[in-house]
Amino acid sequence: MTEILERPAAGASSAPDRANAWLSAFEEALTARDVDRAAAMFAAQSWWRDLVSFSWNITTVEHPEGVRDLLTATLERTAPSGFATSEPPTEDGGVVTAWFTFETAVGRGTGLLRLKEEDGADRAWTFLTTLDELKGFEEPKRTRRPRGAEHGADKGRATWKERRQAEAESLGSTTQPYVLVIGGGQGGIGLGARLRQLGVPSLVIDKHPRPGDQWRNRYKSLCLHDPVWYDHLPYLKFPDNWPVFSPKDKIGDWLESYVKVMEVPYWSSTEASSATWSDETGEWTVEVEREGRPLTLRPTHLVFATGMSGKPRMPDVAGLDVFRGDVHHSSRHPGPDAYRGKRAVVIGSNNSAFDICGALWENDVDVTMVQRSSTHIVKSGSLMEYGLGDLYSERALDAGVTTEKADLIFASLPYRILHEFQIPAYEKMAEVDKDFYDRLDKAGFWLDWGDDGSGLFMKYLRRGSGYYIDVGAADLVANGDVRLVHGQVDHLTEDAVVLADGTVLPADVVVFATGYNSMNGWVADLIDQETADRLGKCWGLGSDTTKDPGPWEGEQRNMWKPTQVSNLWMHGGNLHQSRHYSQFLGLQLKARFEGLETPVYRLQEVNHTG
Amino acid sequence: MTEILERPAAGASSAPDRANAWLSAFEEALTARDVDRAAAMFAAQSWWRDLVSFSWNITTVEHPEGVRDLLTATLERTAPSGFATSEPPTEDGGVVTAWFTFETAVGRGTGLLRLKEEDGADRAWTFLTTLDELKGFEEPKRTRRPRGAEHGADKGRATWKERRQAEAESLGSTTQPYVLVIGGGQGGIGLGARLRQLGVPSLVIDKHPRPGDQWRNRYKSLCLHDPVWYDHLPYLKFPDNWPVFSPKDKIGDWLESYVKVMEVPYWSSTEASSATWSDETGEWTVEVEREGRPLTLRPTHLVFATGMSGKPRMPDVAGLDVFRGDVHHSSRHPGPDAYRGKRAVVIGSNNSAFDICGALWENDVDVTMVQRSSTHIVKSGSLMEYGLGDLYSERALDAGVTTEKADLIFASLPYRILHEFQIPAYEKMAEVDKDFYDRLDKAGFWLDWGDDGSGLFMKYLRRGSGYYIDVGAADLVANGDVRLVHGQVDHLTEDAVVLADGTVLPADVVVFATGYNSMNGWVADLIDQETADRLGKCWGLGSDTTKDPGPWEGEQRNMWKPTQVSNLWMHGGNLHQSRHYSQFLGLQLKARFEGLETPVYRLQEVNHTG
């Protein structure tokens, strides 16, 4: 009876009334520790995604059963309270959307609720809960920012510069980082900034001489494929004059400046050669070489931020040693300048392959692209308009969708049904760009839209490959300026690539734009294969589509959350993911640093080793 | 009759109705080119401040007569239109406040109107009009930002890095800057960023090795005296974790990063030795030495951004050559480290004197402060609370007062009556900090509150000196930790400062914290005395108070606006002024670069040469 009486009635009520009623009733059920009542407030098909606030994990539970399981495990300890809408809820197409804030025993959070009427009552369809900050460990920003000048007069106090210098001198010698982040690209840097803000002693190391070199050293025509609104780092946004697609050297300069102004502890020209965990000391022993000088670091946590793409995948092709021209993986391609007037063969037909083919053609190189399997292509403008525009654009900003809100909206869409939201956008792109696709098709290019037509972002989340965001090079293939052939590479001769069908492609330079292996390859290299296997495959959802084998994992494998290897974390992704998930990885590490209890709900299992 | 009928009626109407009615009627009068009718819509005591939009000047006209004069000179050409409120007007204490936008023949602007009822009609009490952008020359930001990656495929196109390199190589050799900015502190850098955004070929030069050295080279304890919310540069705001009072080395790093990410054309280690104007060529000939290599630049406009404080004022004291210890102006004071255990005499009792005394005391130096005349002191916290808090603070931001709005609100308060707004704030500070002032008074410190009790900001605007924002050192004087003496310096001996009354102050180091001369000293040095005299005194309002002789000038002398010296401009001020007025100086230079007509209304006269 109680359950029925307290279940909010849908119908004529306003969106705010409906959302407030649901949140109040939900809080009552939680306060009463009535797991069944709370679970019954979710729709038969529903998803609760929690980012650290209840689960100390990144996890999605499904349907009332999943909610019951999550709450049974976490409710008592989490002690949630204070659920309140943070802006007026809205209703669209029968779905009420409500932003809310809440508290737990140890933190404060933000959430996003979508309600639907089902069986005469409003029930949660999607429910997102995220942890914003830990009580007592709030970040020093806005009203809590440091004063800078300490007022008063104190004998012998040190200046900011003196304190910074002392810190730099002691780090790695008399003091140890609690967290060592390996890899100082946008992922490592953004996480480094979060940890700095959170007061977690950390160090980011990177092999390049300067922050940003990770971008500067790529092929010279490279620009970001994602637009600026999607690419902000934590805390410090690009100014309004920043290019839509940042040129690689410009983003390199930004990252370098960011490290400095955010005071990220960062060692350039530093490479780790081995890492060993000791159960006894509860520490890693990491051997590094800093500017040529060997050094041992003893962090408690180790974060791999070495690139979600993992290690370059270089096929084992016969004849690599006899080929007399240049041959390299796309990650090492220097750009077209040295090849003017020569013949290039590019193996592969995804982003890097197209970028490289385009730049080579622009510099009067004779270019052949070897397509080995089908590729998904979307025009950059269409992707911005139909794929990202509602969340990441000037239009979105004008509508009040800040980067922070966009990140949460995106995070609130359950992976399990995300493809359903994606398919219509790609159907629209296929329609508006029909001529473009017809031309590619006529040129013999093998096109696809993902196994289920859900397009680029799902391919990215599932396998991290298989697409090209067209910024112009597709037309070169369509009109024959870049020669297209199909097949698998059999071997190289002194001056040509030979395909399995016997086709001979004369070449002065061969570029293998053949992608990357799983991130845990880095772990095998630095630690050992056993640990890499125990960690398991990284990235992907278990969608049982090409290159993303099932079973369903619920979240991206091993990313930003506890793994089967104690005190080892994987961080990365595009700029959006690095920005957003560094918040949650940062808070998980902060909680451990402060000695808070962090019982992990449903630690992920390993279904694939690599 | 028409006039009476069309004059909006005050009374029971709402604030929006009253503001909209006034703006409509005003626009009608302007459209009819009816100067008398428009002037009659202003209160008997009223001020219209225009920042470039009508006057191509920074100017304030007073009362209906002044409005009539401004409009008679500018209305036909300005052709204003489209006055519309940009947010709901509000009413408080009988004053209606309305934000509005408008257009002119060549630009778009923002304004702020305050209405009062007078003689049965709503009349403007204060009226601010500012130019935001020039039509056809809108800045490439937000939806107009550059794409970065140019889509498509073009043979031989250059990358961002290649274009930046080519530009850097040609600047000063095959291409000339249209504007040369001398001085690369926050003023020059912010203006350089504006000009870059506006597409005006410019160059900022500075003698220091790195941007930010202007701050890094100051005494080591220095932090900004103004809080962070007041200090943003154009386009790129400090992140939310930035200290309230930025340490000098941290602001130095920010400026250096800013130059890079905003792509400000900036030559370090460059000093100008002479500048000559040629009527014939319409160009300046500026001799500079860049990293030791002499070079001639030929800019069309010359901007001095060498510091509003002008040249260090070093009194001509006998015995400077016989004194055996260190003696220097405060601008060259290195900080306390070398003086531990020694005796210091600091001449002066304003900001620098207190900062230096405090840092010396903290490092166990025996310190004597010589007060020569009275000083205005406010506690930093009280200044933030009562002086700035409504405009520049987290509280202001939470109330929707962005930095941009705060700048305009401040700009909308007429200098003529600004002291009236200031006096109550300082009366409040005197009250809440009474104990503090009593202690200083008891210690014999000569305090003042400005000639008319209007406090710090008026002193700053009128004379740029005469105050200390207390961050702790005042207590050292109050409690005797820093010895206080009064008097004028007569001469120095081998080891002491001797005052006019015969007092001998033994000293190992003497610091002259004796302030700065007028900025046009820089002009005399670089160009010649005749030009400096023709330019006249810079800074100050003509308030007929101490160090700010009358007659009333209406605006700050020679700052950010056309001067009596053709193609010569003075830029500077604190971070707030540098930020805000660089917008208007930038637009004035842009208009000239594009060949727009820029007839200056009421070019300022010179009443004092220095």
> Given a cut of 60, is residue A400 above it in pLDDT?
yes
- How far apart (Å, rounded) are the C-alpha atoms in residues B255 and A112? 39
> Given a cut of 60, is residue B77 above it in pLDDT?
yes
B237: tokens are: 């705001």
Answer for the pair A468, A376: CB distance below 8 angstroms, yes or no.
yes
Say whether A247 and B139 touch across the interface (CB within 8 A): no
Say whether A153 and B197 touch across the interface (CB within 8 A): no
pLDDT at position A12: 62
Give the nearest partner residue to A243 out of B147, B243, B245, using CB atoms. B147
Residues of A in contact with B220 (CB under 8 A): 159, 161-162
The per-residue b/e assignment along A541-553, b for 16 or more CB within 10 angstroms, e otherwise, is: bbbebbebeeeeb
Answer for the pair A130, A59: CB distance below 8 angstroms, yes or no.
no
pLDDT (tens digit, 9 = 90+) per residue, B12-67?
689 999 999 999 999 999 999 999 999 999 999 999 999 999 999 999 999 999 99
Query: Nearest-CA residue of chain A relative to B261?
Result: A254
Query: Nearest-CA residue of chain A relative to B364?
Result: A155
3-state secondary structure of A91: strand
Give the Å distances, CA to CA, from B32 to A555, B26, B27, B77.
Answer: 67, 10, 8, 13
- How far apart (Å, rounded) are the C-alpha atoms in residues B545 and A25? 67
Question: If pLDDT is split at 50, 70 and 90, which confidence band does A100 have?
Answer: very high
Give the Å distances, CA to CA, from A213 to A331, A534, B24, B254.
Answer: 13, 32, 57, 21
Give the Å distances, CA to CA, from B249 to A156, A157, A192, B203.
Answer: 18, 16, 21, 24
pLDDT (tens digit, 9 = 90+) per residue, B568-591?
999 999 999 999 999 999 999 999
> Given a cut of 90, is residue B309 above it in pLDDT?
no
Say whether B220 and A159 touch across the interface (CB within 8 A): yes
Q: What is the rounded average pLDDT of the residues A405-426?
A: 97
Residue of B6 and B346 predicted with greater confidence: B346
Give bridge partners of residue B297 from the DSSP assignment.
B286
pLDDT (tens digit, 9 = 90+) per residue, B244-256?
999 999 999 999 9
CA A94 to chain B, closest CA, distance in angstroms equals: 32
CA torsion, ordered B176, B181, B187, B191, to nearest 10 deg: -30
pLDDT at position B517: 86
A330 secondary structure, DSSP code = G
Residues of B in contact with A246 (CB under 8 A): 148
Residues 6+ apart with CB under 8 A from B174: none
- How far apart (Å, rounded) are the C-alpha atoms in residues B376 and B579? 26
Residues of B in contact with A249 (CB under 8 A): 159-161, 164
pLDDT at position B12: 61
Q: Residue A426: phi, psi to the nearest 5?
A: -75, -30
Q: How far is CA B220 from the centre of its chain?
A: 24
Asked whether the CA dihedral A526, A527, A533, A538 is positive or negative, the reply is negative
Asked whether the CA dihedral B6, B10, B11, B17 is positive or negative, the reply is positive
pLDDT at position A4: 40
pLDDT at position A7: 46
Interface mutation vs chain B, best among A138, A147, A364, most B CBs within 10 Å: A147
Residues of A in contact with B253 (CB under 8 A): 260-261
Residues of B in contact with A146 (CB under 8 A): 241, 243-244
Answer for the pair B572, B587: CB distance below 8 angstroms, yes or no.
no
pLDDT (tens digit, 9 = 90+) per residue, A24-54?
999 999 999 999 999 999 999 999 999 999 9
- How far apart (Å, rounded) are the C-alpha atoms in residues A480 and A482? 5
3-state secondary structure of B437: helix
Give the nearest partner residue to B250 out of A151, A160, A381, using CB atoms. A160
Question: If pLDDT is split at 50, 70 and 90, which confidence band does A159 have?
Answer: very high
Residue A296 burial (10 A CB sphere; 0-12, 13-18, 19+): exposed
Q: What is the rounded average pLDDT of the residues A370-393?
A: 96
A585: tokens are: 């990885």
Q: Residue A236: phi, psi to the nearest 5?
A: -130, 105
Q: How do strand B179-182 and strand A90-92 relate by DSSP bridges?
A: unpaired
Give B266-286 as a 3 state SS string: EECCEEEEEEEEECCCCEEEE
Residue B597 burial (10 A CB sphere; 0-12, 13-18, 19+): exposed
Q: Residue B317: phi, psi to the nearest 5?
A: -105, 135
| pLDDT, chain A, mean | 95
> Given a cut of 60, is residue A607 above it in pLDDT?
yes
Q: What percent of chain B has pLDDT over 90?
A: 91
Say whether A242 and B145 touch across the interface (CB within 8 A): yes
Question: If pLDDT is split at 50, 70 and 90, which confidence band does B154 have?
Answer: confident
The per-residue b/e assignment along A120-153, b for 16 or more CB within 10 angstroms, e otherwise, is: ebbbbbbbbbbbbbbeebebeeeeebebbbeeeb
CA B141 to chain A, closest CA, distance in angstroms equals: 4
CA A262 to chain B, closest CA, distance in angstroms equals: 9
pLDDT (tens digit, 9 = 90+) per residue, B504-544?
999 999 999 999 988 889 999 999 999 999 999 999 999 99
The vertex-A396 CA angle with A391 and A398, nearest 5°, equals 165
Question: If pLDDT is split at 50, 70 and 90, which confidence band does A5 have?
Answer: very low
Stretch among A215-224, A262-271, B525-534 having the lowest mean pLDDT: A215-224
3-state secondary structure of A81: strand
3-state secondary structure of A235: coil
Residues of A in contact with B364 (CB under 8 A): 155-156
Say whether A159 and B249 touch across the interface (CB within 8 A): yes
**Tell me, what amino acid is at B39?**
A
- How far apart (Å, rounded) are the C-alpha atoms in residues A609 and A517? 12
- How far apart (Å, rounded) are the C-alpha atoms in residues A371 and A446? 8
Beta strands in B174-217, from DSSP E residues, in sequence order: 179-182, 202-205
Q: How far is CA B280 from the centre of its chain?
A: 33
B144: tokens are: 């107009």
Q: What percent of chain A has pLDDT over 70?
A: 98
Give the Å distances, CA to CA, from A385 to A396, A404, B140.
Answer: 11, 20, 20
pLDDT at position B324: 97
A296 secondary structure, DSSP code = E
- How far apart (Å, rounded) are the C-alpha atoms in residues A26 and A42? 10
pLDDT at position B155: 86
Tokens 């810190």 appear where?
A167
Among A97, A105, A155, CA closest to A128: A97
pLDDT (tens digit, 9 = 90+) per residue, A558-599?
999 999 999 999 999 999 999 999 999 999 999 999 999 999
- How far apart (Å, rounded) are the C-alpha atoms in residues B23 and B16? 10
pLDDT at position A518: 82
CA B352 to chain A, closest CA, distance in angstroms equals: 15
Q: Residue A274: phi, psi to the nearest 5?
A: -160, 155
Tokens 């991130």 appear where?
A519
- How far apart (Å, rounded) are the C-alpha atoms in residues B395 and A76? 37
Question: If pLDDT is split at 50, 70 and 90, which confidence band does B151 have?
Answer: confident
Question: If pLDDT is split at 50, 70 and 90, which confidence band does A11 have?
Answer: low
The per-residue b/e assignment along B232-265, b for 16 or more CB within 10 angstroms, e otherwise, is: bbbbbbbbbbbbbbbbbbbbbbbbbbbbbbbbbb
B514: tokens are: 């004796």
Q: What is the rounded average pLDDT of the residues B372-381?
A: 96
pLDDT at position B11: 52
Residues of A in contact with B393 (CB under 8 A): none
Answer for the pair B55, B598: CB distance below 8 angstroms, yes or no.
no
CA A395 to chain B, closest CA, distance in angstroms equals: 9
Residues of B in contact with A381 (CB under 8 A): 151
- How far apart (Å, rounded) are the C-alpha atoms in residues B245 and B251? 10
Residues of B in contact with A240 (CB under 8 A): 141-142, 145, 235
Residues 6+ apart with CB under 8 A from A91: A14, A15, A18, A97
Give the Å distances, CA to CA, from A405 to A41, A327, A574, B192, B475.
Answer: 25, 45, 18, 34, 47
A201 secondary structure, DSSP code = -
Answer for the pair A262, A188: CB distance below 8 angstroms, yes or no.
no
Beta-carbon contacts below 8 Å between A and B: 178
| pLDDT, chain B, mean | 95
Q: What is the rounded average pLDDT of the residues A240-257?
A: 96
Q: What is the rounded average pLDDT of the residues B587-601?
A: 98
B268: tokens are: 């370090």
Asked whether the CA dihedral A297, A303, A305, A311 is positive or negative, the reply is positive
> Given a cut of 60, is residue B119 above it in pLDDT?
yes
Q: What is the pTM of this model?
A: 0.95
Give bridge partners of residue B117 from the DSSP assignment.
B122
pLDDT at position A307: 84
- How far apart (Å, rounded) are the C-alpha atoms in residues B535 and B521? 11
pLDDT (tens digit, 9 = 90+) per residue, B195-225?
999 999 999 999 999 999 999 988 888 899 8
Residues 6+ apart with CB under 8 A from B608: B536, B537, B549
CA B170 to chain A, closest CA, distance in angstroms equals: 20
